[in-house]
A = this chain, B = another copy of it.
């Protein structure tokens, strides 16, 4: 049964949730999306693996990319999705309702409705977002068909409780290594305790006052934390090696060189190895088109802290924001559920902006 894009948002969300599409199993849902959008004369539809791209070609001066993934984490006895009537609101309960088939439903509905939007729009429905980064459908499109990913601004319809969440912080992880000299713990003065040498690093971390950095009008709260520690091989041996893994979440205005230098200055007494770095994404809320969008969504934009695929757009030089139905803290939860109100809010927000 093909997707009926003329159905209301609740019926459409339920229908999409109930085509199970755990990462790697997106073919059926991609087929239905391709078929439904293929019937829209104002869209040019292409397929890349299990990703579907639909674009208007109206020669508008600017182009917006609106993207969302169609895969979910594994089902936890929470399909088929169902509409529940709570005291104050209705909600759709089931796997994918929040992350992010509610957003996909809003996208599909608007893709079919916006025959003559104020900007050209490229709608991207992609696969494999919930699994290893190298499988990510958006990344694959960037490699295989970079021309698809051309635009002036992007909206990722990940759940944000229907608020605009701009950009994302970057993240760098480093390992700090302290070395000593092994000895029997009965004669520790024959050695040197590497674990005790972590003391200045932990003192620095405990005392650190993270900055809040304003980027494109949003305040990004930074943080610096130890996330793992290891040291010691036996209870009667003075450790000659101790390792502290530190995670710095930094504002999207900072460069890789800057954050690495900052960490080296904070921890001068350790061997420091960068094990992972992903730059943040600027929210682009200084752009005219972004400000128009924010004006339609009456609640002020706020910064996004977690790293999302908006950073993939940032790498391509495209400012991006997150905006979608559902409480992100319920993503992946067994009781994942999206308030029906969010679906209509997002439909009105995105639609009101793009309709112009």
Residues of A with Cβ closer than 8 Å to B?
A: 169, 171, 173, 184-189, 193, 195-199, 202-203, 205-206, 221, 223, 225-232, 234-239, 242, 245, 247, 249, 276, 305-307
Q: Is the contact region of chain A dominated by helix, strand, or loop, or is it mixed?
A: mixed
Taking CB atoms, residues of chain B closer than 8 Å to A235 are: 173, 227-228, 245, 247, 276
Assembled-state Cα–Cα distance A164/B277 (Å): 59
Q: Could you say which residues of chain B place their CB within 8 Å of the CB of A307? A: 186
A199 in complex: contacting residue of B169, B187, B206, B228, CB < 8 Å: B206
Question: Is A186 a contact of B226 with CB atoms below 8 Å?
Answer: no
Q: Is the CB–CB distance between A232 and B205 below 8 Å? A: no
Q: Hey, which chain B residues are within 8 Å of A305, CB to CB?
A: 186-187
In angstroms, how far is the closest chain B Cβ from the Cβ of A322? 13
Given contacts A186-B306, A187-B223, A195-B202, 20 further A-B contacts (CB under 8 A): A171-B186, A186-B249, A186-B305, A187-B306, A188-B249, A189-B223, A195-B227, A195-B228, A198-B202, A199-B203, A199-B206, A226-B232, A227-B236, A227-B239, A228-B231, A228-B232, A228-B234, A229-B229, A229-B242, A230-B230
**Least Cβ–Cβ distance between A265 and chain B, in angstroms:** 19
A247: contacting residue among B185, B197, B203, B205, CB under 8 A: B185
Task: Give the residue of B187, B196, B205 whose beta carbon is less than 8 angstroms from that of A226.
Answer: B196
In the assembled complex, how far is the CB of residue A173 from the closest CB belonging to chain B, in whole angstroms? 6
B249 touches A225 (CB 8 A): no
- The answer to whether B230 and A193 touch across the interface, beta carbons within 8 angstroms, is no
Contact between B196 and A202, CB atoms less than 8 A apart: yes
Q: Which residue on B lies nearest to A224, using beta carbons?
A: B188
Which of A185, A238, A245, A249 lies at the interface centre, i.e. has the most chain B CB atoms within 10 A of its CB?
A: A185
